[in-house]
Structure 1
Amino acid sequence: MSVTGAERGVGLPPARDTAQRKADVLQRLAADRHTWLATSGPSGAHLIPLACVWDGTRLVMATHGGNKTVRNLRADGRARAALGSPVDVVLVDGPVTIVPHDKLPADAPAVLAELPVNPSRVPGCVYLFLAPRTVLAWRHRGEIPGRTVMDHGHWLA
């Protein structure tokens, strides 16, 4: 079996530095409106697509309060969100806070209204606020070594 140039990293664009990756991640978070959210529970991993918005510090989603994702988060409040594509990956890990609409603070960001499944309009739904603790970003194998752009809740650039 022969190894191609791309598999060796030959012919790939130069790896972005951490500052550029952070800027690209923030742009993706502000623009993307869908994510894959992974949680874990007694029956194993659970992965679902959800609409999302970035409120400037957290990734916010909404879903029905009785579903498996929310049950998993009540038991283990951590999740991973995946944005992008296999050639422009952003993974966001962190704790998730579950907030019913009637407990939403009065100063909640207006961007929450952009969620299509909105707890203010859909009875039984709750907000999920994912606070990033670790963020990974890469576009090709040459960027894997420097993929961590946030660690312990602090941007590395």
Structure 2
Amino acid sequence: MSATGTARGVGLAPPRDLAQRKADVLGKLETERYAWLATGGESGAHLVPLGCVWDGARLVMATRKQHVTVRNLRRRAECRVALGDPTDVVLIDGTVEIIAHRDLPPDAPSVLGDLPVNPTRVPGCVYLFLTPRRVLAWRHRGEIPGRTVMTHGRWVV
């Protein structure tokens, strides 16, 4: 870091307040189409990129039902999802409900059709509905102290 407050020539913006961070997280959830999903299993941590959509309350992904991700989630439904890049990080901790296409309720969100791997088109796939419990968001080290925007399933602001 130089004396001018820059790292690699990029100036550090003032930290965003929590309301702005929440708005930015919601915007990212509505526009991101891929996320990194981390689960834990008998063989250790497992990290995989999956297509995703936000249904307004949950992050929805899909994968093949025999995939190690699904096996891990059946044993322990907790996971972490990462969105963004190192200059705009969003981490989501939560629990996942695994639902087969045939078990979707009639009022299932229409955004599910936007999933690139979709159980309606790809046999043997299941939906993964992630309900956020904790959300962290930061763009640089100046935002690390206030990075928690959701805790215990409730937005901080």
TM-score interval, smaller chain: over 0.9
RMSD over aligned Cα atoms: 1.3
TM-score, normalization by structure 1:
0.94
- In structure 1, the partner of 2:112 is 112
Aligned-pair CA distance for 1:56: 0.2
- For residues 1-157 of structure 1, the aligned pairs below 5 Å read 4=2, 5-6=5-6, 11-157=11-157
Aligned-pair CA distance for 1:116: 1.3
Aligned-pair CA distance for 1:121: 1.2
Q: How many residues align?
A: 153
| 1:132 partner SS | strand
Q: Percent identity?
A: 67
Q: For the residues of structure 2 that align with 1:108 and 1:95, how far apart are their CA atoms? A: 19
TM-score, normalization by structure 2:
0.94
Q: For the residues of structure 2 that align with 1:152 and 1:33, how far apart are their CA atoms? A: 25
Unaligned 5+ runs, structure 2? none
Q: Which has the higher strand share?
A: 2
Unaligned 5+ runs, structure 1? none
Give per-residue Cα distances to partners, 1:80-103, cap 9 Å, x unaligned: 110010110000110000000000
